[in-house]
């Protein structure tokens, strides 16, 4: 029995393929994409550096790649937003310094 043939000709198959491709993809500016990746990498490197420096919070953010670090960060904050947060201590002003310890 089997599925009925969806595309009658090679031209129709090609047209259907292009339509699927157009629906599933998006064009991205290379510079904007590179900047986004650089921001992602910076977050991951900051987490790894903080863990190396002994930060107890960073030690809970486990990820072997920048993408898995972002996923772990999301999961960590989602858990804290959901009420399993034990970090009641206020953040010291020095910890928010954006220019401090920036790596290239
Ligand atoms: Zn918390």
pLDDT tens string, the chain, 104 residues long: the values are: 566 666 579 999 999 999 999 999 999 999 999 999 999 999 999 999 999 999 999 999 999 999 999 999 999 999 888 887 777 655 566 655 544 444 44
Domain ranges of the chain: 29-83
Q: Which two tokens stand for residue 86?
A: 């034990």
Q: How much distance in Å is there from the Cα of 38 to the middle of ligand 1?
A: 26
Q: What number of residues does the chain have?
A: 104
For ligand 1, an ion, list residues with CB under 5 A: 80, 85, 87
- pLDDT of 103 reads 45
The pLDDT assigned to 36 comes to 97
Give the Å distances, CA to CA, from 75 to 49, 57, 84: 20, 13, 12
Distance from the CA of 83 to the center of ligand 1, in angstroms?
8
Predicted local distance difference test score (pLDDT) of residue 102: 44
């Amino acid at each position: 029995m089997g599925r009925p043939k969806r595309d009658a000709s090679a031209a129709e198959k090609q047209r259907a393929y292009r339509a699927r491709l157009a629906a599933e993809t998006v064009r991205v500016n290379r510079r904007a994409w590179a900047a986004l990746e650089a921001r992602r990498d910076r977050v991951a490197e900051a987490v790894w550096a903080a863990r190396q420096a002994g930060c107890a919070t960073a030690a809970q953010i486990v990820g072997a790649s920048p993408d898995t670090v972002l996923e772990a960060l999301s999961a960590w904050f989602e858990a804290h937003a959901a009420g399993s947060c034990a970090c009641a201590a206020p953040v010291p002003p020095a910890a928010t310094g954006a220019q401090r310890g920036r790596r290239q």
